[in-house]
Each structure stands twice: as structure tokens, then as C-alpha cells.
Amino acid sequence: MLPPKTLYSFLLCCFLCPLALFGQSTVDQIKGVVKNEDGDYIELATISLFQDETRFVSSAVTNAEGQFTLTDIDQGTYFIRIDHLSYVSYESDSFFKAAERVLILPQITLTQGVSELDEVVLVDQKQFIQVKADKIIFNVASSPSASGTNGLDLLKASPGVTIDFDNSISLLGKGNVQVYLNGVQSRLSGSDLTNFLQSLTSDTVESIEIISNPGARYEAEGTGGIINIRLKKSLSRGLNGNATSSFTKGEEYRYSNNVVLNLGGNKLQAKLDLTQSHTNNLIIFDDRIQQNNAVLVGFSKENQIQDGYNIGLGLESQLSKKHYVGLDGRAIINNNENRLRNFTDIFTVEPPEFTEILFSRVFTDGNSANYLFNGFHLWSFEDGGSLTTNLSLGTYNSDQITLQPNTYFETDGETVINNEDTRFDADTKINLWSAKVDYDKSWESISLSAGLKYAEVKTDNSFRFFNFENDIPVFDPAQSNDFTYTEKVTAAYANLNFKLNEYWSVNTGLRMEHTESRGQLFSEVETENNDVSRSYTDFFPNVGFSYDDQKKHSFSLNLGRRITRPVYQDLNPFERPNSQLVIWKGNPFLNPNYIMNYQGSYAYKQKYILTAYYSETTDFFSRIVETTGEETTQVIPRNMEKATNLGASLSIPLKITEHWDILFFANVFEETYRGDVESTFIDISNWQWDYRIQNIINLPSDILLDITFTQRSRWIWRGSVFIQGTEGLSFGIRKDFFDKKLQVRITGADILRTQSDLSYTSDYGGIDLDGVYTADNRRFGMGLTYNFGGKKTESKKSKGALDEELRRIQN
């Protein structure tokens, strides 16, 4: 770890140098003008100013010249919302207001909407999908078709996001994506991230923010970008909340029940949310593998059953005008039960002969508990600067018992050749803590952000293997091990944003991260890789240029560098059987991978947005299947030399009629994977495209209908397997009752069952593979939400104490 004095000196210079260069004035106002598409001024439009995305600050009404003025506005980051009966509601991007300055916003243009003259009703017209220069926003709360689904299903429906066979997430074709919750990194990956996302219900999610090229303020971890899930937050005073229940049925059923309680006061806000859910994921593989002189034809069916609780508690208090504190905690508790049955017919190629049948089963029972605690303090200074301190603690425990009965039969399927039954117990314990300090200050034409962070994590993994003798499990020390991993990351960053003139601005940033890690394997079997340590320092720059003529045209160009470190279990060098024929083996020498992102965006009227991007990843993570015998294989994570991604995305909103709107989003890119992986050379490239057409239809009786069609071309999984393209149709219907106290939703996903069967092929390293993966994607469901509440209040939103925490935990 770098000396603390060096880091604090670096940060102090970032603070003090700009202070000597800029002065201040004495006015605190935000001004602007509002027009329609014909250039006419709009009178009597309501302007609402918000801070931290949920806190209402001030309001105003436009005059006959479309002008508005918001007065007595302190320094900070804000956004405005504009409502008018004759126009579609408008919501701006976030902007920064410097202390004692007049901020004049660019001209705002509203789009003509529908005005109901029989009664005055304000309808929230927020688009389901918003594409901005730096991110894409999926407004889940506005989408009827999203109801009754979990967090993982929501990501599958998000533009630019794809979910692979093993539930790994890709963003615009790039893997290793970081998942955040309310701006706080989830710290999870692999099956634990899947469990966490499935424990979230769509009815508690407000929006999903998709950030493909984060800046220096964000932690450099995650070469694929960031997906931030924002939960709903109350703006009401007194005791209020809601109760939600949803149910979906495909081949198997799923349900969730959620209760949210808010207590809002002038100085203290409290929130309690509780979700109970049941999920049954059905997965079927029907495949053929040829390696050496053997052909394996298999069929497997697995049910992944999870019963879980997700409990969150938050407290926030305004101690004084300058001090604001918050404390929040979350407990995620899951009980898991996996049941797999597999039949494999085994053939020889020369001579062509059907030799035997393997009937294998896997019974896994386990539980996990994830506890997160966060605290933060916000200190505002007289000069307009602010200092935010975050402290976070986390613990994770997982226990699993897996039984694998294996029976070999003669080709008649009845005569038993032999039984080979095994059992293994896997326990994981992880403890971590982190501390983070951020400083923010702005002047008339420049703003500064700088900060420090230290994070430390330690994981203990225990693997106990048993063979069966006379139906009694006997411990096998030769196939058992303990693996510990410790990682320490020290980071410092500085980010400067320059306003060059009325149209041009520049954003520059540099993040430094120093990593120290050590993995230790304890086993009776001597290995060469039982103690691996690393120490390295990396720098992650980002630069961005943007132009806005404040009328119709705007564009931006930016580049940035990021890193992804290996997940802990991928570094464990011991072998772990998935079945009698397939063994998982970790790689202690797996290197982190690095990516350079280049991205440009153009927007016309902030509605039609075109984005072009290119990225190059070195030491790309691939999971390679390698032959270890005539019939057996091992799956091992390895670094591939390079992966590239070149593409573009387009967003077009269309208004067909007064009651019918369409949002079209398309993405096309070329992905390449090249490198010599343990004497196996891989050189694969593929052009991939996908698009979605979302129809939003307002039916009579205030019924909202959402119909979405998606299509995806052939794609590459894990850098070596080709997956056949798919298309799908989904719908959602929403209706409110009793003055919006009760909401009823009916949903259907993959209603034509065209996204449930995925064909795949692969041919490299002496392994020829093809098959069909089947998932339980066609589902129909219903959801109910009942709201009870108090009066509106100006509640704040937590800064999020567990900011950018480590996520790489995996069973």
C-alpha cells in the first residue's frame, strides 16, 4: 500500500491549487426560458427543482416570455422537471450550480402533448427508455410489462444489456459489468450476484441506469461498465408505504411479496423494506460433445430453487445546515436447492460403437447470508465546497452440501456396470471494510472532485470431498482443501470539469489504484501454486469533450481506461467436479484484464441519439474447455490475449398518434477474440446486432398497454461458443383504481416462445460441441400494489455509504 502521507499530499494539492485561481460573486439564482417546437414561448409551465434525484428544492412558473427564475439556490447538483397540460413533461440531465452565481440554463423545448379538457389530470409522461450522452435510463416504474419480474429479468429487458447461459452480464457486447444498487456497488459476482438480483422485485425498482464509459470518480473496477439499479424512494411526510404482491407462471412458478414502510419528518427520515420471494429456474441442456475418440450425447434437466428474504433499513438526519448523516443496512438471506438429472450416452468413433450410459444426479442444498452496513457524513463548507466521508462493513457466509450419485449402465439402460457416488461440502466466509473521502467544489467555469479510498477484503473457502463406501461417505483429504485470499486496494482520484465557453466543455480525470493480494492454498496434495502474491499500481485516465449549441445539436467525445480483477474462486487452483465427466479447476495465475474505451455521441434535439464506440480488452477472461482424457474434460479460466468491440447504437422516439408512442433502440457491433490459450489458438470474430421496438399505447379507461418486440443476431459466449440469434414478444397492461391507491398489472414474457430455446456450437482445441439450451422464459403473471401515504415532504436521498465496494464474491 502506498504511504498515507503521499496520498494525502496528492489530494491536498488538488484542493488548494484551484482555490488560488478563482474568485466568487454574490448571486444564487437559476434562470431559463421554455419554448415549444415552433419557437413560441410557453406561459404557465411549472418548473420543479430537485437535488440528489429525489429531494424537492424549489419551484417557479414561466411568464408570458417563457422565462423562469429560481432564487436562493445553494451550490449543488440539481435537475429540473417541467410540466404543462398541453405538453409532454420534461426532465433535464443533472447540472451543477456554483455558489453565489447565476446559472443560465440552455433553452428548453417542450413537445406537444395531449390535453384532456373534461378534467384536469396531470399524467407522468416520463419515457420508459431515455438515452442520454453518458447513460441509458430504463424507467422501470413507468413500464407495465416489467411488473412481476425480478432484477435479473429486468436486466434482460434493458437496452444494450445481454445475459449469458451462466447469467453473466454484458453491456454493449462487453462483459465484466459492475452492478450497483442506489449508487452503491453490490460486491457480488457469479451465482451470488444472480441470487442478489433475483431477490430484487421489479415493483420496488424505480429505474436502471446503464453507464458504458464511467469517469474517474467511479471505481476503475469493471471493464464492461456500470449498471446502477435505483430503488423507489418516498417523498411523503409521516407514515406511508406500499404493499406489493406478484406471481408469474411458466413451466414453473415464481412469486414475491414486498412491504415498504417510510417515516418522514422534518429532521429524520426512516425506511424499512422487506421482500420475500420464491424462484424456480428450469434449465435444460440437450447437447453432443466429440473429443478424442469419444462422442457424448447428453440430456440434463435442472431446477434451481431459491427462497429468500431481502431486508433493508435506512436512517437519515439533517443535524444542522452544514452536517447531514445517514446509516443504512441490508440483509440478504437465501436458501437454495438445486436438483439436476443427466443422461449421457457414450460412443466411440473408431470403431463406431455405443458403449455405455451414464446416469448422474446432483442434489445441492445450501444457504447464504449477506450483511451490509454503511454510514456517511456530508459536511458543507462556507466557501461552497463539501466533504463526504463513507465507512462500510460487510460480511458474507455461504454453506453448500452437494451430493453426486453416478451410475454407469450397459447400453440396455438396465444392467448396472458400477456406481461412483461422491459428496462435497463447500463453505465460504468473506469479511471486508472500506473507507472513502470525497471533496467537491465549483467555481464559475470549473468544478473539482477529488477523493481517497481504501478497501480490504479477506475470504476463507473450505472444500471437503467425500467418496462413498458401502453407502457411507468417507472423507478424502487428497481431494479437499482450504483456500484463503486477501486483497487490499488503495485509490486516489481527481476530476476537473472546465466550461470553456457557452458551447464547449472539457472533462478530465485521473484515478490511481494500488493493489496488493495474496492467495494461499492449504492441502495435503503438494502443488506449485499454493501461495501466489501480487502487488501492482495502475493509472486510469479519462478525457471528454462536449459541445451543445443549446438549440438542436450536441455531441461528445470521450475515452477512458478500466480494470477487472479475477473473482476469488477463479484463483483457487484446486479441482472441483461438476460431474463425473466435467471438472472445474481454478487458475491462481489469472491476470486482471484492462480495457480502453473510446466513445462518441451525437444528439438531435436531445431526442434522436447516435453513439459510436470502440474498446480493446487485453488479457480477456475466457473459460476454456480442455480435454483431460478420452471422455473427461476440465473447465478452467484463462487469459486470452485480446478482445475488441467496434459498434454503434441508435435511439429514435416516434409519436404515431395521440395515444401511441414508439421507442426504437438498435445496436450493432463487431466482436473479435484472439489469442494463444495454452497452445490452443483462438481467432473468432462475429458481427452482432440487436434491436427493440417498444410500443406504449394509452387505451380507454386510463389503461396503459406496453408491447415490446426484441431481436438479437448470433453472438459469442465466453469468447469461444457461438449462440444462435433469438427474437421475442412481451406485453404488459396496467390499470389504477381508487384514486391510484391500487394498481393492477397483467404481464406476458416471450409469449410466442421464441426466446426459450438457444442453439449453440463450438469447435476448437480438439473439442466439437453443439446443442440446445432451454430456459423457462415464456411466462404470464399478475401483480398488485396498494399504496398508503402521508403528505409531501422534502426528503433527501442518501449519498450511499457503501460506495463502489468490492463485488467479486462467487460460490
CB neighbour list of residue 83: distance below 8 Å, 6 or more residues apart: 45, 46, 48, 89, 122
Cα-based distances in Å from 619 to 172, 592, 675, 680: 19, 7, 9, 15
Question: Which pLDDT score is estimated for 151?
Answer: 76
Question: Which pLDDT score is estimated for 53?
Answer: 53
Residues in the chain with pLDDT values less than 70:
1-27, 52-56, 99-100, 113-134, 141-149, 165-166, 173, 183-192, 195, 198-199, 201, 203, 233-237, 266, 573-580, 629-630, 678-679, 765, 790-811
Question: Which pLDDT score is estimated for 7?
Answer: 41
Beta pairing, strands 504-522 & 531-548? antiparallel
Compute φ and ψ for 361, nearest 5 degrees. -135, 155
Give the C-alpha separation, 304 to 198, whole Å.
12
Question: Which pLDDT score is estimated for 10?
Answer: 40
Give the C-alpha separation, 724 to 351, whole Å.
32
Question: Which pLDDT score is estimated for 497?
Answer: 86
Burial pattern 214-229, b for ≥16 Cβ within 10 A else e, equals bbbbbbbbbbbbbbbb
Give the C-alpha separation, 600 to 557, whole Å.
4
- Chain length of the chain: 811
CB 115 within 8 A of CB 715: no
SS3 for 552? Answer: coil
Q: Calculate the CA 414 to chain-centre distance.
A: 48
What tens digit of pLDDT does each residue of 48-105 get? 888 765 566 777 888 878 888 887 787 777 889 888 877 777 888 778 777 667 788 8
